Structure 1
């Protein structure tokens, strides 16, 4: 389980969660992408808005639905299984629900958690249950500072960063990996208004998927 974490809202976590999940699917992996930002959920909405007809936002199962399903979750290898936030999040324990996903999903299936912003108490729940985290950040000074705080929180919770992806970036200067204490695994170029429809962005997420598999999932995930 990988927590996709970063600084403040708008840093690219949701786009990266979905873009990376689709890239892993293109390699034949049965991927689960779950919205762990229960106060500001938009993973299922983004999935629907970017033409994933197999998982329209209104019909996307929630993480609670998934763990209550009899038997294991069996993701489709043709497209990620996107799990929305609960409809009434105040009635559920996020850490307990997200932790149950690891029991409901086959061991060789990548699970990506779209985390809340920053280093708030809400951000701690997915970081506590994930094996490692992937840091997502624009290359602005304030964003890097906030991402460093998130990285420090993750390490305190024993969820060590496997790497960083720089988003909306033309290039990545030296020193970013040293600042955040982990290697830069990818760079996603700027593309508006729908980044996931841009071929250069898809290629960037394909490259990120390849490096993430090499760094974390080669011996544990079912990928081509």
Structure 2
């Protein structure tokens, strides 16, 4: 029997700075125009999801003694309407794997993953229903993303597709490198709320559907 579908999407890439956090929030904002997604910061090495989202760095106080519902500790993102953000808290420790099992199943959950191949990077991939890879056209970043794709498949997680960041069009060589579709390219801008980026993320959300 397979694991239950919880609509948990890992946003991953092998190298820091490739744009995972930008894609996490941009895609969450696109879903937020229809539903209320939860963006989770699992990147304990560089926990900056809260900085881009405009939320406090620590999770909200637990509403009960056990803290059974992690989503209840999320903050509404001030800069992204319709998106809730669960920050990493800046502890530097790996996210407890039990947290992934307790995330809600009634709305999209997007997890901003750590770079690399550590246990902290593998745990979100292991618990996700699918992974969306993020890379730039830089050869080293592509190579690291390919390693992340291989790790995800080894863990039994479906690679949904690839987002190519900081390019106007996807290079043909990049599209051929992954055994997964290159779903969208993002222009050379760093601010997600621009109209150019918003259109790209809306197209990405439409291609992926409401339940990634």
The partner residue of 1:34 within 28, 33, 40 is: 40
Which string of whole-angstrom CA distances, capped at 9 and with x for unpartnered residues, describes residues 95-123 of structure 1?
2222221xxx1x33110000001223321
The TM-score normalised by the length of structure 2 is: 0.83
What does residue 119 of structure 1 align with? 117
Do 2:70 and 2:99's aligned partners in 1 also have CA atoms closer than 8 Å? no
Q: Which residue of 1 aligns with 2:28?
A: 21
Is the aligned partner of 1:173 residue 2:175? Answer: no
How far the C-alpha of 1:7 sits from its partner, in A, is 1.9
Give the match's secondary structure for 1:196: coil
The partner residue of 1:197 within 182, 193, 197 is: 193
Decide whether the 8 Å contact of 1:47 with 1:57 is kept in 2: no
Indicate if the aligned counterparts of 1:44 and 1:60 stay in contact, CA closer than 8 A.
no
Are 1:95 and 1:128, in contact at CA under 8 Å, matched by a contact in 2? no
Aligned partner of 1:2 in structure 2 is: 9
In the alignment of these two chains, the number of paired residues is 200
Q: CA 1:69/1:122 → structure 2, altered by over 3 Å: closer, same or farther? A: closer
CA distance in 2, matches of 1:132, 1:14: 17
In 2: Cα distance, 1:18 partner to 1:38 partner: 17
Q: Secondary structure at the match of 2:196?
A: helix
Residue 25 of structure 1 contacts residue 80 of structure 1 at CA under 8 Å; is this kept in 2?
Answer: yes
Distance in 2 separating the partners of 1:67 and 1:189: 45
Deviation, structure 1 residue 46: 1.0
Compared with structure 1, are the counterparts of its residues 72 and 17 closer, same or farther at alpha carbon in structure 2 (3 Å cutoff)? closer
List aligned pairs for 1:84-103, cutoff 5 A: 84-88=87-91, 90=93, 93-101=95-103
Inter-partner Cα distance in structure 1 for 2:179 and 2:65: 34
CA contact (8 A) 1:162 1:182 kept: yes
Q: Shift of residue 148 of structure 1?
A: 0.3
**Residue correspondence of structure 1 range 1-224 to structure 2 within 5 A:** 1-26=8-33, 28-48=34-54, 56-58=55-57, 60-61=59-60, 68-69=66-67, 73=71, 78-88=81-91, 90=93, 93-101=95-103, 105=104, 107-192=105-190, 195-213=191-209, 217=210, 220=211
Per-residue deviation, 1:160:
1.7
Q: CA deviation at 1:66?
A: 10
Contact 2:59 2:86 in 1 (8 A): yes
In 2, Cα distance between equivalents of 1:71 and 1:42 = 22
**Coordinate RMSD, CA, aligned:** 2.7
Larger helix fraction of residues: 1
Q: 1:67 to 1:125 in 2, by over 3 A?
A: farther
Gaps of 5+ in 1: 49-55
TM-score, normalised to structure 1, is 0.79
